[in-house]
Amino acid sequence: MRLSELLKDLEIVQLTGDPGLEVDAVAYDSRKARKGTLFVCIEGFVTDGHKYVAQAASQGTAAFLVQKAVEAPAGTTVIRVADTRKGLAHVSDLFFGHPSGRLHMIGITGTKGKTTTSYMVREILRAAGRRTGLIGTIANIIGDEVVYASRTTPESYDLQALLSDMVSAGMDSCVMEVSSQGLALDRVYRTEYDTGVFTNLYNDHIGPSEHATFEDYAEAKAILFQRCRNALVNADAPHAGRYLAAATGRLWTYGLGLDVDVRASAIEKAVEGGRVGTRFHLDAPWFSGTVFVGMPGRFNLYNALAAAGCAGLAGCTLDDVRAGLADATVKGRVQPIPNDRGFTVVVDYAHNAASLESLLQTLREYVDGRLVVVFGCGGDRAKSRRYEMGEVAGRLADFTYVTSDNPRTENPADILADILSTLVPTGGAHVVVPDRREAILRSIAEAKKGDMVVIAGKGHENYQIFAGRTIHFDDAEIAAEALAALPPAVPGTFA
């Protein structure tokens, strides 16, 4: 296609050269630039693409999109715009033919709940016969193809390429997590959403390479609601009013109050098909009836309401919602490991004190025996996390296996000592098992009828990082292996 087609409606500050050039690729990494490529110079946190104009030109690139003056070789075309991040999103969207406009797009933002809600929505849409792709923290999914993700919201070019691949693969819908960074850095600029969801907002992601202040963080999330036809907002969450006010499309709310559009009542903990969860009565403009969500806790109830609202707006039925919510599983998010031993094994990503406390308090309601937790803390991270998690485990668990997480460059023994410094004073029963594999094997081998073993901290991660090496390690795989290694159960009894 001609360069001028990619520049359509783009606000240009200055253009030198020939806008009629033929372009068959767009790149923001100079190593991928060649003849026929439009190279977009992005000023990033680590490096500045403007420094690589000469390199890209030496590889045959003749067209550059920049936001500041560069020394480009004679005969090249240079388009200067105010912001190349928006520029990259603009040209990428046009290059791939505006794929978001050919999909039913659902975007989910918030501090917590994005991943779980997105998987719930996907399961409901799949139950309705919709071919649904997913873009998120854990993985990007197109049909049966699963590619593990490096960031929650991909760079704009990669996002548009993913959406284009979904269209080509016959997908008709896409549900995606939309991070505050993705919004602030214009990775989703020009992406068209049918429904945008706000889950909640907490003080997080504030730092040198993220958001400068909480206000910046909160405001970034508001951008989504200026770009969707329907805004679905958790009315019970603090700061909900900010997002209701930001919405330019039709407003919908969910929660537990009487004056919301999607509401839960008659809430009770329940176990169905071996899965612990919540049964509740769902009332929404599109359907009404009793629903079971196969993931426990008040937070998952809110995630289920958000998913049900998205489903209603997408034209799904109550039966679709029931089927999707009952079967939804998110790797590493209260993930059950099936067994017939009379105890429960769960893998979860809880890797800070707040998430571990919430998780243990929630799961306590479903435990008849002991609540057992296996956890460690990552190296090269804030030490405060170790002290806080040690105290939470000692206070809330009946028994704790203190083990390694991702020690990285630190001595694992030092991390364990930090955890014990706050766990021991609580008087909580515990044992130290430095090797994580051994800790998981022991926790399951020693579990009794009615116990719940919670393996926390790594969740969906399939690796363990040590100084100088990274190994394959999946908590769920090890837990399943541990269960398989148990002696055969005597019929009519439990371990």
Shared domain check, 316 and 237: yes
**Based on the domain organization, do 361 and 438 belong to the same domain?**
yes
Is a pLDDT exceeding 60 seen at residue 490?
Answer: no
Is the pTM higher than 0.75? The answer reads yes
Rounded CA-CA distance 22/2 in Å is 4
Distance (Å, whole) CA 424 – CA 428 = 7
Statement to judge: residues 137 and 244 lie in one domain = yes
Q: Which of 95, 121, 148 is a domain's end point? A: 95
pLDDT at 176 over 60: yes
Q: Residues 322, 400: one domain?
A: no
**Angle, alpha carbons 210-392-235 (nearest 5°):** 55
Residues 277 and 339 in one domain: no
| Closest to 198 in 3D by CA, of 228, 154, 246, 231 | 231
Res 114 pLDDT > 60: yes
Domain assignment present for residue 495? The answer is: no
Do 376 and 466 sit in the same domain of this protein? yes
Q: Is 276 exposed, middle or buried (0-12, 13-18, 19+ CB in 10 A)?
A: buried
Instruction: Check whether 492 has a pLDDT greater than 50.
Output: no
Task: Give 270-279 pLDDT, tens digit per residue.
Answer: 988 768 899 9
What is the per-residue pLDDT across 12-36, written as a single tens digit (0 to 9) for each?
A: 999 999 999 999 999 999 999 999 9
> Does residue 203 surpass a pLDDT of 70?
no
- The total of other beta-carbon atoms located within 10 Å of residue 88's CB is 27
Phi (first) and psi of residue 103, to 5 degrees: -130, 150
pLDDT tens-digit map of 319-329: 999 999 998 88
- Which pLDDT band, with edges at 50, 70 and 90, does 144 fall under? confident
Tell me the average pLDDT across 193-218.
80
Could you report how far apart the first and last alpha carbons of the chain are, in Å? 67
Is 489 within a domain? no
- Other Cβ atoms closer than 10 A to 18: 14
Is the pLDDT at 153 greater than 90, yes or no?
no
The whole-number pLDDT of residue 315 equals 98
Query: Tell me: the pLDDT tens digits for 432-489?
Result: 999 999 999 999 999 999 999 999 999 989 999 999 999 999 999 999 999 999 998 6
Into how many domains does the chain fold? 3
How many helices and strands (H and E) does the chain possess?
A: 15, 24
C-alpha–C-alpha distance, residues 13 and 200, integer Å = 39
Residue 491 lies in a domain: no
Query: 360: alpha, beta or left, given left = phi > 0 and alpha = psi -120 to 50?
Result: alpha
Query: Which structural domain, as residue segments, surrounds residue 454?
Result: 335-484
* DSSP element (H, E) containing 277: strand 275-283
CATH number for position 50: 3.40.1390.10
Both 138 and 240 in one domain: the answer is yes
Higher pLDDT pick, 491 / 462: 462
User: Do 267 and 298 fall into the same domain?
Assistant: yes
Check pLDDT > 90 for residue 103: yes
- Write the pLDDT tens digit of every residue in 358-371: 899 999 988 999 99
Phi and psi dihedrals of 53, rounded to 5? -60, -45
Predicted confidence at residue 166, as pLDDT, reads: 97
Please say if the pLDDT value at position 240 is more than 50.
yes
pLDDT at residue 297, as a whole number:
85
Given a cut of 70, is residue 192 above it in pLDDT? yes
Residue 244 and residue 378 in one domain? no
The enclosing domain of 137 has a CATH number of: 3.40.1190.10
In this predicted structure, the answer to whether residue 3 has a pLDDT above a threshold of 90 is yes
pLDDT, mean over the chain: 93
Burial class (CB in 10 A: 0-12, 13-18, 19+), 400: buried
Whether 495 shows a pLDDT value over 90: the answer reads no
